Structure formats: C-alpha cells, structure tokens
Copies of this chain bind each other. A is one copy, B any other.
Amino acid sequence: MRAYSELSKEELKKLEQKLFLQYEEYKAKGLKLNMARGLPSAKQLDMEADFFGILFPDSSFISEEGKDCRNYGELTGIHEARKLMGDMMEISSDNVIVFGNSSLNVMYDTVARSMILGVCGSTPWCRLDKVKFLCPVPGYDRHFAITEQFGIEMINIPMLETGPDMDLVEKYVNSDPAVKGIWCVPKYSNPGGVTYSDDTVRRFANLKPAAEDFRIFWDNAYCIHHLYDDRQEKLIEILGACEEAGNPDMVYKFCSTSKVTFPGSGLAALGTSKKNLDFIKSVITIQTIGPDKLNQLRHVRYFKDINGMREHMKKHAEILRPKFELVQKRLNEELGDLGIGKWSNPVGGYFVSFNTLPGLAKTVVGMCKDAGVVMTGAGATYPYKRDPEDSNIRIAPTFPPIEELASALDVFTLCVKLASVRKLIEA
C-alpha cells in the first residue's frame, strides 16, 4: 500500500468512506476490550498458585536472623527479603529497605517526606517558593500525578533512543537549585521501552546538582521483565555509578514484585545510600510498625533466591511474548507503509508506545472508546496530561487474552487509519 500522504483527495475520500463503514461495523459489535493499563493477565496470575501454600502447614515463621515474622519488629524488612530485593536491584542488602506492597506508595512517601521534613536535613520543600521536577516524556502517568498533587512544577524532557535528553537534564539540574528531582524508568521505559544507554547513566551519575537535596527517582520497575532471554538489555547499576562519581547520595532506586508475583500483594523496595537510609529510617520508625514480614517470608521461600525469580520471569515472558509479537505484527500489517504512525518495539517491560500524526491521539483514543476499546487516556504520558503534539498513545497489551487483543488491535489500527485519512482530507 502507498503512504496516505501520497494519495489524492479523491482517493482519500473513497478510503474514508470504506474505513468509516468498517468502523461502524465494529461499533455495532458492542465490544468490551481493554488495552489501558499494565495489568498482568489471569494466566500469569494463575502461575503462582503454589505461592499460597508456602507458609502452610507447619511452617517455621522464624527469619534467618531468628525473628518471629508473625510479631512486631524489623522496620526495614527481614534480612533475606532485603537480600532478595537487593539482588533484584543489583545492590547490597545493606542499602535496601523492603516496604509494603506498593513501590508507588514508597515513591509518594519519599516525595511527601521531602515536602514536610526535607532531605537529610535540607529545608522542607513545602517551605520553598518553587520546587521543580524533570519529567522525561513520554513517561509514567502515576509519577507525574504525584508531583502534580504536591504542586511541584514539572518540566518536560524529551526521551531519545538513549534515554532522556541529557544535555537538557544537565542544563536544568546543574544550574537551577529549584530542580529537586527527576522521574526515571531506566529500563524498558514506560511507555517507550527504552533502556538508558551506558553514556546516559554515566552522565546521570556525574551530574553536579545546584540543589544539595536533588535526587534521581530511579524507578526500575521492569528490571527483570525481559521478553526474550537472549535479547536482555543491560543497564548500568546507578547507585554504584553515583558513588564512583562522588555523588553517593544522589539516587533513590525503587523496585517491586508487582509484576513478578501479584499486583497489590507483592513486595516493594527502596535502594539508596547509607546516609539516605539512616534519614529515612529515622522517619519511618515513627510512621509505621513495619512491613508485612510474613509476605516477605512467603516471597523468599517461594523463589529461594534471585535465580529462582529470574527463572520465574521466563514463564511470564512466555505468556507475554506472543502478545507483544502480535502487536508488532498487526501494526506492521495494517499501518506499516502508510506513514501515519510510529511505534516502539520493546524487548521488555509492559508497553508499546505509539505516535499518531500530530493532533490525532485524543481523536483516536475517543474513537476506540466509542467502539468499545479502552486505551490509556491520550495525554496521560505527559505531565498535566498535556501532550504538546497530541500524538502519543500508550498500548498495554498484557491483560487481554490474545484473541481479545487481536480484536482490540483491529479496532485501534482502523481508528488510526480513519482519523489520519480525515486529517489529510482536511489538510
């Protein structure tokens, strides 16, 4: 097929009529499909059935260090869980706190703590006239929602193939003391699927922040979430890199098992320097009685160690891979030569990032919705939900069974075509 841009008005109008009829047919079907959120599918969740028997019957509840995990104590998590999550983050257990069930909650609390109490003795952010965060875009909507709720000004930083535009990052961080943080999903990024290059990570580690309380919020949500065992992307470990560069306290690493065991019933962890940890411990010892140690024990006993977890992730990949491959196949087949969309082809993570012609994302998502296919809201991947190009759409192919995914992609590609044709007709 020829690119749409090469078609005459006449041809476009004919095409529009044909596509419109197809679209009306889909609408009549009353579909109810969802490609909106990065949820694991029921098939993935079913894999973990044995997990629930791990502490039953006649199990010991005593941790390696001799603590009864059924009682109070162990504010930073039991040692074996800190070891497991530390291995996941490629850092020592000494640098790890294992929290509750939500790494988003850990990130939120990290910002909240800085707002009320400052960072290791700095002025509380709520007392400052202006606090700014850098936001690589497109990015994760729930990161942006946190900083928006706290009234923190968000600055867009374009994502390149190597990660965030580091020229811009350096410019802002090194010159503006109001810039206190940056949101990063450094591996298989949400939504673009980009893994930060070695050069990018090193430039992060070598920042010279104007603010002493600047921190990198390194949300390594997909650190072991590879789709292909033989095509795993490598990311330089940032805590060590920062230490080497003389910036030992500059990064908070976050990770969770939400997409390893269960969303909502997994473990979330924070990895950072001893100085940061000591400060955080002094706060959380007031905030909480400590994390759910029995769930920590369950995780450790289930996986044994990081190798058990890695093996387990291969089973997830087997379920996810065909879905991601179907997305590529259908996008290529339907849109490949038309010049009306560009998309990522990630080898890990949970998303495919799609860019329509400028100004069409909202239209396409709206048309999908009217035909019964729920997509992530257009704009969601930008701070304040404002995509300046109105172009980016996040595709989340993990949750629907593969037949439903196929139908949803049919609708999606059709909507992209129809919206694009109409735009070109009007042009």
Residues of chain A whose beta carbon lies under 8 Å from any beta carbon of chain B: 37, 39-40, 42, 45, 48-49, 52-53, 55-59, 61, 68-74, 100-102, 104-105, 108-109, 112, 115-117, 124, 126-127, 142, 145-146, 149-150, 258, 262-265, 283, 286-295
Residue pair A265, B292 in contact (C-beta under 8 Å):
yes
Known: A39-B72, A149-B283. 10 other contacts (CB 8 A): A49-B58, A53-B57, A69-B265, A70-B265, A100-B292, A102-B288, A102-B290, A104-B288, A115-B116, A146-B287
Residue pair B52, A264 in contact (C-beta under 8 Å):
no
* Complex interface: chain B residues within 8 A of A42 (CB): 68, 71
In the assembly, what is the distance between CA of A105 and CA of B102, in Å?
14
| A/B interface sample: 19 pairs, CB < 8 A | A39-B71, A39-B72, A45-B61, A45-B70, A52-B56, A53-B56, A70-B263, A70-B264, A102-B289, A102-B290, A104-B289, A108-B286, A126-B126, A264-B289, A264-B290, A264-B294, A265-B295, A292-B292, A295-B295
Question: Taking the nearest CB of chain B, how far is it from the CB of A234, in angstroms?
Answer: 28
* Complex interface: chain B residues within 8 A of A59 (CB): 52
* Complex interface: chain B residues within 8 A of A149 (CB): 117, 283, 286
Question: Taking the nearest CB of chain B, how far is it from the CB of A71, in angstroms?
Answer: 5
* Complex interface: chain B residues within 8 A of A55 (CB): 52
* Complex interface: chain B residues within 8 A of A290 (CB): 102, 264
Residue pair A45, B71 in contact (C-beta under 8 Å):
yes
Contact of A262 among B109, B112, B294 (CB under 8 A): B294
Contact of A293 among B52, B265, B283 (CB under 8 A): B265
Question: Taking the nearest CB of chain B, how far is it from the CB of A290, in angstroms?
Answer: 6
Question: Taking the nearest CB of chain B, how far is it from the CB of A63, in angstroms?
Answer: 12
Known: A71-B263, A295-B295. A286 touches B45 (CB 8 A): no
* Complex interface: chain B residues within 8 A of A40 (CB): 71
* Complex interface: chain B residues within 8 A of A287 (CB): 104-105, 108-109, 146
Question: Taking the nearest CB of chain B, how far is it from the CB of A77, in angstroms?
Answer: 11
* Complex interface: chain B residues within 8 A of A289 (CB): 101-102, 104-105, 258, 263-264
In the assembly, what is the distance between CA of A295 and CA of B295, in Å?
9
In the assembly, what is the distance between CA of A149 and CA of B288, in Å?
13
- Measured CB to CB, the nearest residue on chain B to A59 is B52
In the assembly, what is the distance between CA of A127 and CA of B115, in Å?
12
- Measured CB to CB, the nearest residue on chain B to A268 is B289
* Complex interface: chain B residues within 8 A of A258 (CB): 72, 289
Question: Taking the nearest CB of chain B, how far is it from the CB of A300, in angstroms?
Answer: 15
Question: Taking the nearest CB of chain B, how far is it from the CB of A51, in angstroms?
Answer: 8
Residue pair B116, A72 in contact (C-beta under 8 Å):
no
Question: Taking the nearest CB of chain B, how far is it from the CB of A194, in angstroms?
Answer: 23
